[in-house]
Amino acid sequence: MKNEGIEGTERFLSPDKGRGLRALRHFAVGELVFACPAYSYVLTVNERGAHCEHCFTRREDLFKCGKCKQAYYCNVDCQRGDWPMHKLECVAMCSYGENWCPSETVRLVARIIMKQRATTERTPSERLLLLKEFEAHLDKMDSEKEEMNQTDIAALHHFYSRHISNLPDEQALTELFAQVNCNGFTIEDEELSHLGSAVFPDVALMNHSCSPNVIVTYKGTVAEVRAVKEINPGEEIFNSYIDLLYPTEDRKERLLDSYFFTCQCTECTSRSKDKAKMEIRKLNPPPETEEIRSMVRYAKNVIEEFRRAKHYKTPSELLEMCELSLEKMGAIFADTNVYMLHMMYQAMGVCLYMQDWDGAMSYGEKIVQPYSVHYPAYSLNVASMYLKLGRLYLGLEKKTQGVKALKKALAVMEVAHGKDHHYVAEVKREIEEQK
């Protein structure tokens, strides 16, 4: 395939940012800027049996691969379509049994290697940017990242060397893993549940802004980029690489750590939302500056501690951890403070897992309004929260509240996902069924 570009856009050199994507025409809010099929992708292990490995369709009547009994497909066409990639894992899963446990990144890199061998021409995923042009930032990696890279390379050799002849050398693999870690995407459903990992080279061309003018959603294994602000000819097209809930310092820290740049976007220079995001409880006398700083340090530590605890604590222990931290932070932080919201969101997730629907609903109700203030317009985080709440209300037979929440989710989704998306159709159907 020759380089045909993407209609209405062009690759250009963005001042202080390197290459980027620029609009050549006007794009209205909700308009599709471009779609990009995944260059390579992999369904996450936890979603096996619920989604087709090949097209990511969610359905109940999938049938499994007769050999490994682990991969599920819509039909024979999907199974045949996936075989060039699935065969890498099929035999390995049979021979390793329960000991087959490469990380999702390792599985994705194995597929990229196979795809690169089978493909000599530019692919439809690389109309503006080739995968081999991805930044690796090897010179900026610290020892912890280098160690993780080496662990992944060792796992690739362990699980795949028998099934991929002549794996690339150490230097090439180090670069490829670094490129994928810096440019990979996680595919999520309408409630932002993780479905898998993929690389979309043309989507990776876009630079970051904490006040983006486009949003990326997924239709199966295709990424769709839609305008969430009016975009005029000549304007750069910006996506967001991170969760935008947090204050400027936290966002900058995350971007520097994961993507190796210091963000200078309008939101980071104006810090216009920081005060609301860091809302302090109205106390008499007000808390001292050092008390607030100390509580911020505690909040960051507990967020990291909770992330690690998910791997070894029971759901009830996790819920207790959330409740205790909320009680402690609540002495100084208002309920709308983003650190409070972070732990409420974790608590809601644990409640959903434990099927404590009332508990989940109670947390969701506290979260949804502040989310609408802190996040930019047409945020998927806001849509997914209204969606979860709406479905909880309907399950608890609170029909009026359920329909109202689903309609709010729908208003965001019609812009972010597009009016013809199957997720939008599903939510419309859920609303219709209540009439």
Among the listed residues 233, 113, 209, 105, the one whose alpha carbon sits nearest the alpha carbon of residue 161 = 113
Q: What distances in angstroms separate CA 59 from CA 53, 62, 227, one per listed residue?
A: 12, 7, 30
Do the domains 375-434 and 279-371 match in fold? yes
Instruction: Tell me the pairing of strands 238-239 and 207-208.
Output: parallel
Q: Where are the domains of the chain?
A: 41-184, 279-371, 375-434
pTM of the model: 0.94
User: What is 279-371's CATH topology?
Assistant: 1.25.40
DSSP one-letter string for 232-292: -TTPBPEE--S-TTS-HHHHHHHHHHHH------HHHHH-TTHHHHTPBP--SSPPPHHHH
Whether domain 375-434 has CATH 1.25.40.10: the reply is yes
Write the CATH number of the domain with boundaries 41-184.
1.10.220.160
Distance CA 383, CA 375 (A): 11
Per-residue pLDDT of the chain (435 residues; tens, 9 = 90+): 445 678 999 999 988 888 999 999 999 999 999 999 999 999 999 999 999 999 999 999 999 999 999 999 999 999 999 999 999 889 888 888 889 899 999 999 999 999 999 888 999 999 999 999 999 999 988 898 899 999 999 999 999 988 888 899 999 999 999 999 999 999 999 999 999 999 999 999 999 999 999 999 999 999 999 999 999 999 999 999 999 999 999 999 999 999 999 999 999 999 999 999 999 999 888 999 999 999 999 999 999 999 999 999 999 999 999 999 999 999 999 999 999 999 999 999 999 999 999 999 999 999 999 999 999 999 999 999 999 999 999 999 999 999 999 999 999 999 999 999 999 999 999 999 997
